Amino acid sequence: MARVALIGEERGDLAPLIERVKAERGRLINLYRVLLNSPAIAAAWLDFNSAIRYRTTLDPALREMIILRVSILNGAEYQARIHGASHALQAGLSDRQIMELGAWVSSSLFSAAQRAALAWTDAMTQHIEVPDTLHQELKNHFDDQAIVEITVLAGAYNMHTRVARALRIEPETPRSV
């Protein structure tokens, strides 16, 4: 159970923001139901994460790999369930790729570019400091814009996972995602 109230659509004073969330996310998911306890934070979160998810140059499959990898590393069921259940498959990841993200290093299912991005994501998530060797490998596959987008995406989902775990936000059922 979430540690704070889940705000619902009964909050008429929040109707414009709730409608924006529903328009951009398809429905009022539990993450936003929690964030609506602070409308300014909910609105900023929506704007920031919409930019990361929908207005970058990253391949959608790579984007979902990074999101799922951060979720796996941080033990974040909320993001792993939502992204694995729908977003990752829609972005073009196979069921096998999703299943093998936990052990991507020994998997043959990922390209060299994907492996570079996953190594970068792992370093950012587990150690914060990223070695120059990983930066060079990332530069072999991506331009500066993509490197910034990969980095900010991984950082944003580290934020997502930590907020979801700290506030004990429960995933929606697969049917309602």
Tokens found for residue 60: 């959608």
For 17, the token pair is 């923001």
Residues 42, 93 within the same domain: no
Query: Which residue range is the domain that position 41 belongs to?
Result: 12-55
Q: Is residue 143 part of a domain?
A: yes
Model confidence at 176, pLDDT cuts 50, 70, 90, reads very low
* pLDDT tens digit sequence for 79-106: 777 766 678 889 999 989 988 999 999 9
Percentage of the chain beyond pLDDT 90 is: 76
29 and 103 inside one domain? no
Instruction: Assess whether 45 and 122 both reside in one domain.
Output: no
- Kindly report, residue by residue over 135-156, the tens digit of the pLDDT: 999 999 999 999 999 999 999 9
Do 37 and 72 have their domain in common? no
Q: Report the CATH number that the domain containing residue 142 is assigned in CATH.
A: 1.20.1290.10
What is residue 175's predicted lDDT score, i.e. its pLDDT? 47
Q: Could you identify the residue written with the tokens 């999101």?
A: 67
Same domain? For 74 and 24 the reply is: no
Structure tokens at 43: 């609105």
102-128 pLDDT, tens digit each: 999 999 999 999 999 999 999 999 999
Question: What was the pLDDT predicted at 75?
Answer: 87
- For residues 71 and 154, give the distance between their C-alpha atoms in angstroms, rounded to a whole number: 10
Amino acid at 92: G
Same domain, 39 and 100: no
Residue 173 lies in a domain: no
Kindly state whether residues 79 and 99 are assigned to the same domain: yes
State whether 102 and 74 are in the same domain: yes
The verdict on 121 and 77 lying in the same domain is: yes
| Contact (Cβ atoms closer than 8 angstroms) between residue 157 and residue 67 | yes
What token pair was written down for 128?
């914060």
Positive or negative CA dihedral for 174, 47, 157, 170?
A: negative
171, 2 in Cβ contact below 8 A?
A: no
Residue 38 lies in a domain: yes
SS3 111: coil
Does pLDDT of 134 surpass 80?
yes
Note whether 119 and 158 are same-domain residues.
yes
- Give the chain's domain count: 2
> What tokens does 145 get?
């814009």
Assigned domain for 4 exists: no
Q: Say which residue, 80 or 132, is predicted with more confidence.
A: 132
The whole-number pLDDT of residue 25 equals 86
Q: Are residues 75 and 51 in the same domain?
A: no
pTM of the model: 0.89
154 shares a domain with 78: yes
